[in-house]
Amino acid sequence: MHALEEARPTVIHPTALVASGARIGLGVKIGPWCSVGPNVVIEDGVELISHVVVDGQTRLGAGSRYFPFCTVGMAPQDLKYKGEPTRCEIGPRTVVREHVTIHRGTATGSGVTRVGADVLVMANAHVAHDCVLGDRVIIVNNVVMGGHVTIGDDARIMGSAAIHQFVRIGHAALVGGVAGVEADVIPYGSVLGNRARLIGLHWIWLRRNGVQSQDIHHMRKAFLTLYPKNGGDQPFAVRLDAVRRDFTDNVRIQEILAFIDAPSRRGLVRPARGDASGLDTEGA
């Protein structure tokens, strides 16, 4: 036997059902009453704790963990789906907690549902077909999202938020608890309410992740140019041009502008009325 296999034995509980054809890596632990379909690939060091169902053309990234009663790669809740061989991919070291459902993609969409690396999906959340979650995303309990949602790296989606299909959530954005998000959230944006409104930038994340005070000052100034107190007198396009002109060297502001310029099915979340720009909202 290979030395690595001796060091990292794969353990499959006798009550688990692992179909012929499933590819199982080294050091995998498949607990009691789990079910693994024939087209599943489980990379090294994955743990299915118990009562986990993995089906379809699904790949579980190395070192990821799956808690009881979650399902990964099951057929999408889309009436147009006719059993096409679509996919689901979970990144390394991602943690999927109890009763989470992650469905595979659809032939009419991208064909793949993708969850990045080091993601935490807390209990009872739903990741729908064709969704794409970046790295280090945190999805808190009871979050639900429609199909084709895109969530950027480092975003935080707080408990019981609901995200409409085709919505884009930008890098390091914060969606507040019980928010109903019907439109796109800019990178570093912070939204609250039902329906969700933009109340500022995710200042807490920026400070915790080493963004310098001068850069934060520039981002605050750019945000207030785009979304002035009480709406301002100029059209949004004019304010957008002013930010393009005045902040050409700030990488994060350019990221926000590129997000605004990108194609969108839903448009942008509207700002809250009045002055909410100074509100600090805690992220996970």
Distance CA 259, CA 67 (A): 35
Distance CA 230, CA 238 (A): 16
Cα 166 versus chain centre, distance = 13
Q: Is 249 a catalytic residue?
A: no
User: What would the DSSP string read from start to end of 41-71?
Assistant: EE-TT-EE-SS-EE-SEEEEPTT-EE-TT-E
User: Is residue 275 within 8 Å of residue 230, measured between CB atoms?
Assistant: yes
Cα 135 versus chain centre, distance = 8
Distance CA 281, CA 101 (A): 28
* Catalytic residue of the set 103, 129, 148, 202: 129
Cα 132 versus chain centre, distance = 6
87 strand-pairing partners: 57, 112
| Six token digits for residue 153 | 């790296």
* Catalytic residue of the set 61, 73, 147, 152: 147
* Catalytic residue of the set 55, 118, 130, 184: 130
Q: Is 130 a catalytic residue?
A: yes
Which residues are part of the catalytic machinery?
Answer: 129-130, 147
